Structure 1
Amino acid sequence: MKSMYRIRLRLLLPAAIVLSQLISPALAAVAQTQTFPAKFSRDESLLLEQVVCGQKYGMALAEIDARAFEANASAANYADVKCRPHARLEGQPLYYVAQCVRSAKQWSCAQAELETLVQLRQRQLVMRPGSLDPKLAYQAVQKISGYGYFQAKSLDAALQSTCNLGQGETPDLIEISCQHWAITVSFWCPATEPKTPCPRVIFMGERR
């Protein structure tokens, strides 16, 4: 059975998918477009499992959420692919995710990203640490969630799934992007202000 599975994948991969690691322009429109559950064949599932999870990371598929831009469409326009966890971070699963877009009969997938769940006081937050050390990103998000407010804006309300993190302009800065909010956190904390929580939130803005 395993040999037949491998043969099947070798036949499918060259014919049906574009292994570009470039993000398709269509991905930018996905978040702003109403979508509907779509049919997804077993062959397509095997294909994206191998491309996103198997080839580079040696992991199996956890789930695929296939969506279409029209109700009752005959084929999916894009699919969110989630791999099985390969490690744990602060007791939460650490796994890879990627979004793949279909054009005609070909699929192109964005670069897979690490994703995990951050345990906040009363809920869990989906977080992607990006280029940051996952543990540092986890601890920073968890800590600032308990600060309450920054310049009369609720940090807890701004931290809504999914949050993407990245390095700021200087090594001490972390940029956090969560749906409609952008937050900048600094790990540089003045010694003259020992009562100020560290890391510090130094910017918070809403995107409209």
Structure 2
Amino acid sequence: MKNILTRGGIEFLAVFLGIALSLYVDEWREENQIRERLIADYHSIQKDLDIDIPYLEQIIEGQKKSYQNGMEMIQMLDKERSFNYDKFVKSSLFVSSGSTFFGTKASYQASISSGRLTYFGIDSLSNEVGKVYEHHYNRLDLNGLLLDELNFFKLPDINSGPMYLSEKIKQQNLDKIFSPEYYHQLKDFLGLQSSYIRKCKWALEQMKKVNALLLYQLNLK
């Protein structure tokens, strides 16, 4: 009887260990697959950043040029004696919301929706990646839309066409330029543009940081 019980216990233990080992192997395989796919996600996110970084740098330069021209216009309005109609109109050509930044989020969103990016916990890398997409990209989306809206709907247009020096067009432009609303609307636009440029620079700094971290993780640098 003892032998039967002993043999039964050994068989049960063998079955139990077999099941446990099988589960462990399955879990190990699953985690290995997730890890491989996560590395592929890192590659995709890094490639997106490689495209977005120079794109944002170009946008910052365009916004800075617009802002500088706008500030020259403000300075001329602040000191009427230095007002130069021809220069003012030419400067106004460059004052606009121009191109605003909308980053590539597909690779990041795919990694998040699959659960891979945070599957092994929220480490420093996933945290830094999240800052780019959840914080900076979202802020730039919102502020870019606000800048476009202010440009298209609230900033008065100056007629800078071929006839802008004709007496009629010039007077129409001057009436608009020296109206009580124009100065404040231009100041509001430039204030938002200055804020947008700062946010772009902060985003760019974080994007470059994450790009370097990903390259290090992937042993590409």
Give the TM interval when normalised to the shorter protein: under 0.3
More helix by share: 2
More strand by share: 1
**1 or 2 for the larger relative contact order (CA 8 Å, sep ≥6)?**
2
Larger radius of gyration: 2
TM-score, length of structure 2 as denominator length: 0.21
